[in-house]
Structure 1
Amino acid sequence: MTGTVKKKPVVIGKSKQPRCFKGVKNLPVDYFSNTNAWMTSFIFESYLRKWDSTLDHKIALILDNCTAHPNFSLKNIELVFLPPNTTSLIQPLDQGIIKAFKTFYRSDMRRQIIDAIDDGQGNGNDIAKNMTVLQAIHMSHNAWMKVTTSCIVNCFKKSGMVPITTNEALELDLPDVPVDISGLQIDKETFNEWLDVDKDLPVFQVMNDDEIAAEIVSHKEQGNDVEVHDEDEVEYAEDRVPVTRSEVFNAINTLRRAIEEHDIVISGYSDQNTLGRM
């Protein structure tokens, strides 16, 4: 168990093609949509069948007992369902992986809001409301990249699925709370409440046969080129101007200078050689 195999996050939104996706050809996540932004058995099975077709080795996928997680056979993926009512005890994700992810995600979101306030872009509520699905996707990707392999391994050990030595300490590699939310002094209990503010939101949909059939038909009718807009983003929507090649190189050079002059450390880009190859 190494914790090094990290699939791209799956993000489910309400719109198949939100306005903020205009001009965007690549996303750092696997994006799906339905009217409620919920996981459904159709999305679940579609995702797993596509993943299964890319594998050349066998793996086991540990799953909660959820109506959106149907049991079906695949060539390379074996679905392993946990016993009922045991998720909080033996699901590795619930032993700290989700908490680490949410800590990084919410800290990044808070930092962006504070930076925008400092730049005079408005008050916190308006800035938060104007955040787009695309911004959330990039924050999700960045948060997942920050979850360390040691955190993943330790959560598997904590769940009992990986052996642990008697004297081994389990560390989840969570960021320091006050520092990571731009210096605001918030006690641990309040911060944990903030992390779990959405834990009771519905995230999956129980579908009967007619609803499953209707969703399949809907996906086929929409195709890949139909734009479906999210009402929550209408006011913020604006036309994206394609980035030119010269603008790309200018941005890279600006980033390189910033790292050189201000000793900035950006995960994945602090190495000058990395920037030189871009």
Structure 2
Amino acid sequence: MHYRKEVVRRFLADVERQTPTTIDVLQAMWMIAKAWNLVTEKTIANCFKKSGFKVTCEDEEDDLPVAELARTWQRVQEELHLQESDFEDFVTFDNDLAICGELTDADIVTSVLPVTDAEADEDEEEEGEIDEHNFTIKDAYNALNTIKSVFLKKGGLSDDVVKSITKLDCALDVITHTGGKQTTINDFFSNK
């Protein structure tokens, strides 16, 4: 459900930007990583409880992600003036989807080749000092995508790095959906 919520958020963001929605495999993988990191221990315990395993946990919470996704889907229908699409069809549209493919020998060789000096020099030329100006949330998302690309190209993409990146992504989502504005250091100390 968290993944589907990310897809709907992406779709709504593209509607607002008036751009077509395209999600490639890499973007889907990042969305899946983010969704998995949002799954709580309590959710997993409740899954075991519903399947008949004896689990000691507190009262079961409502399935908030499904309810929130349903509200978001309703908004999509209203915004795009869609016909009464069956929400269940949306939730299960990819149940029969093929989830793997075969790599060619060339693809495998390319993926393990080291980065050449020319490519490294080109990357260093792109790095420069950042001009200070009013950064937007769009700038933050672009920067996050750049960070993802660097870790993918240069290696070092450990579980901790993926979790950190998805936490940043979630924090940006909160700012985006709450209309957050930049605060001052005085605001920080006044809340304590």
TM-score (normalised: structure 1): 0.34
Q: Decide which structure has greater strand share.
A: 1
Q: Decide which structure has greater helix share.
A: 2
TM-score (normalised: structure 2): 0.46
